[in-house]
Chains A and B, each alone.
Chain A
Amino acid sequence: MARYIITDADKITRTDTYLVKVECADGGCFEELEPRRLFPHTNLNQYITLLDSSKKEIAMIKDLATIAPDSRQAIEDCFFDYYMIPEITEILHVEDKFGVLKWRVMTDRGEIEFSIRNRHSDIKLLGKKRLLVRDSNDNRYKVCDIANLSKSSIKKIYSYL
């Protein structure tokens, strides 16, 4: 399948909350493309696909590090709004009563309390470090490296890992 591979010679500009324009070095131009991570949990800065309004892949960035800094910034700004997976920085309180598991946490987007419907499938360790949590409303939260959490935080969630 023909897909345009974006290089540092191409220019990407953010045109809307989640849309960008790609001006290619060869003079071509793609408007209103939606950048998406192909590996939103395990490889944030590589393999970024750009879809048109019918969700057809038009272009790809193999590595954000290889494109122009302004273009990279445009993509990162889009992603900041598009992907809301707050990073848990501290576990403030865990309540586990009568089958209901409730966490109050501090994240990089502020403090939030949420319930976890199924403790066995909604708390997932990816590898040995990364933790993904899904609340009862299907919102996602992450811990990039469990070792970065404080001892008291780990103690509170230890039994669910």
Chain B
Amino acid sequence: MDSTIHINKHLTNAELQNIEKLGSPDNPVRFAIVGDISADGKYSHSTLVATADELIVTDYSTGDVTERIAFSDIDEIFSKRMYGNAFIRVRLKGEDKPKNIFRYTFSISALCDSVILYVNNYKAGDSVESRVEAIAAAYEKQLSVCPKCGRTLSAPGVKCINCEGKKKIVARLVKYIKPELPILIISVIISIVTTVLALLPPFMTQTLVDDVLGGDNVTANGDVHLFGIFTTTVVNSLIIIGVVLTATYVIRFGMGAIRGYYLRKAGDRIVKDLRDDVYEHAQHLSMRFYDKTSTGSVINRISGDSATLQAFMLRITQEVVVQFFKMVGIIVIMLIMNPTLAIFSLIPVPFVAIGSRIFSKKIAPFYRRIWRRNSAVSSVLTDTIPGIRVIKSFTNEKNSTKIFVDKTQEWYETDYKAGKILNAYPAIVNFFVSMGSVVIWMLGGLAVCGATNVSGDISVGLLVSFISYAAMFYEPINFFANLNDSYQNFLSSAERIFDILDAEPEHDFGKGNKDVNMRGAIEFKNVTFSFDRTKKVLKNVSLKIEPGDIVGIVGTTGSGKSTLINLFLRYYDHYQGRIYVDGVDIRKIDMEYFRSQIGFVQQEPMMFHDTIFNNIAYGNEAYSVDDVIHAADIANAHEFIARQPDGYDSVLGERGVGLSGGERQRLSIARAVLKNPSILVFDEATASVDSETEHLIQEAIEHLISGRTTIMIAHRLSTLSKANKIVVVDNGRIIECGTPEDLMEKKGKYYKLVQIQSMADKVNRQKAEEHFE
């Protein structure tokens, strides 16, 4: 037997020994939970220890035992979840009231739930080994969440990709740069050539001023000894210099244009690949991610942030290299021309560098804030523009505008505050740079006049040329100073992009087990689920459905009916318990295959901005026209489609605008027909349509469900006329399950619901008749 004690926290040997001492050689400690709050709700530690038949609560620091309860004395054990914390409560035999024995926050709620199961399984007569096995699974699950960052791990025990590798973000982006490497290398070479060419004009200026116009290299007959190579007339010298300069500019700008074109092409491909990757990843993210992230912010990341990353990647691969060469080249040239002036030119560099550091620290939080404000504006747009009909129907235009204006005002305030720093910094840098030029003018001017002793000869041409190089020198300096700024911007964009790329996708999509012949036997076994650990939406639900069963799920709003379906469709996988299809745990079936076997008809069917044909054939383009028309026929949709002027080619507006609710619903049923699934799920399919349409839909559903396992959630019990099994869900539990006849006989909740609904139907009918008369 494994003698390891399961503990949720790393303990010192002394602490571990204290825990071990609580057991005995015959009855050792099996597991311990180190809690995070004291009984009075302060952050501290306490420990809950379990042997085979005892629970022991101790003070973590002193080791003093505060509770020791034998399982045989326990009548009832349960957890009371409150807000942000919970208690394990125990009612002892012979006592009326339960008492709190252990308080904890939600950080360890899964472990505490397993303690309750451990005790209850003892009462059910399970062996200690099987109980410990269940506990081990809970501890393992606890480890499937990174203890450092809380991120769900791809498998229990693996290293967290967020915390383990200190992979630099830039390194991760290499994947996108790699395919463009040839173009990028050629571009860099072109850039180096154009940079060298850019350094030529100041040298030509010096030759022009000193040799041609200044007469320094003029021979006795008035000719000019040009570049120290050959002699020619002044006019020819001017023409040669002009031609060289023109050629330089033509080559420089021509090559620049070619480089620009290829760079744009490479850049566009990078941004395209990035966007495609992020979008594809976003498609496979779990519903849990979308529950917590606004669609506006996801859209912003795919469109805006990927462009920021692309811009920076080009900057890093191109400009950094070019500017570096330029900077080194100019320093070398200036040192050769005049070392003293060159050193004076370098004086502003430390100021610029220090300024850049201060600036980047100041500006980084602003970039994050600006993004948040922009994202908030986008969220209002994605919320309100698609819901414009609702806004208009409630004449809420003014309020809607106010919400938007408030958000843009917040953006404006953040952005203009950032603007102060953004503009002040370059102004200060430019001031220092200009002062550097002034110093060179002053010193150089004095040297030309012979008023000061600057090492080396300084001619007017050399000074003019030097000033030009000095001005060019500050371009790379400025570039590197501002690089930090765009690096910060890039980092915050990268962080948001990786938020999506690193989010755990739905498990095993397209990679898992397809070897399941789905006949339609479904079993929920002890399923417990909570969206956010604050409230259990499903509590220990067990349910068996045989192949071909038509099961109606009824219950009041918020009872957990739809959650049951959401878990079955694997929108959420983080539940306790198991769901089986034909004896196989659904989490072990390939998700793509699994979902392809299920037809799902929702209350509000989602249509896309496309033709009716494509909307029916959604998800598979291989369907023939006959297949689609046949599906539309079965779904009672063909007739109204035929009435459309454009028939199956009618293009629907966004979300199916142009069709009535009932028509959209029939299209969604046609979709399900086309899929030919083994299992059908209807979630209030007729809830939002009139009686006549309900009849049409009902008829379509009846065509569809014959011979298939069908789960139907319905408010209107009349839609469940074909059901051979009814499941009544209340407050997250199944309270009744059986044939409709059995449940009617039982006169329980289902009976009551039927009574209430028939009374309501009767009243409605009477009212309608009176109104009609």
Contacts and interface: CB of A to CB of B under 8 A. Distances in A.
Interface of A: 16-18, 40, 54-55, 80-86, 98-100, 102, 107, 109-112, 115, 117-118, 120-122, 135-140, 158-161
Most buried by B among A83, A109, A140: A109
A122 B291 CA distance: 12
Nearest to B531: A138
Nearest to A107: B43
Contacts of B163: 98, 100
B684 to A, nearest CB: 23
B105 A139 contact: yes
Interface of B: 37, 41-44, 80, 82-85, 87, 97, 100, 105-107, 145, 148-151, 162-163, 166-167, 169, 292-294, 297, 364-369, 372, 375, 495-496, 498-499, 502, 532-534, 731
A115 to B, nearest CB: 4
B534 A138 contact: yes
A115 B368 contact: no
Nearest to B300: A120
Nearest to A18: B82
Nearest to A118: B292
B82 A84 contact: yes
Contacts of A140: 83-84
Contacts, number: 110
Given A84-B41, A110-B44, A118 B499 contact: yes
A32 B534 CA distance: 21
B744 to A, nearest CB: 23
Contacts of A159: 364-369
Closest 6 CB pairs of A and B: A136-B150, A159-B365, A110-B43, A84-B84, A84-B85, A159-B368
Given A16-B97, A81-B41, A120-B297, A99 B369 contact: no
B43 A139 contact: no
14 contacts: A83-B84, A84-B41, A99-B498, A102-B148, A110-B44, A115-B149, A117-B151, A120-B293, A120-B496, A122-B292, A137-B105, A139-B105, A161-B369, A161-B372
A160 B601 CA distance: 40
Contacts of A17: 80, 87, 100
Contacts of B293: 118, 120-121
A17 B163 CA distance: 40
Nearest to A122: B292
A107 to B, nearest CB: 7
B407 to A, nearest CB: 12
A120 B300 CA distance: 12
B442 to A, nearest CB: 42
Most buried by A among B41, B97, B162: B41
B162 A110 contact: no
B704 to A, nearest CB: 37
A127 to B, nearest CB: 11
Contact of A85 (B84, B97, B496): B84
B41 A115 contact: no
A83 B105 CA distance: 11
Contacts of B44: 110
Contacts of B495: 99
A3 to B, nearest CB: 18
Given A84-B85, A99-B499, A158 B369 contact: yes
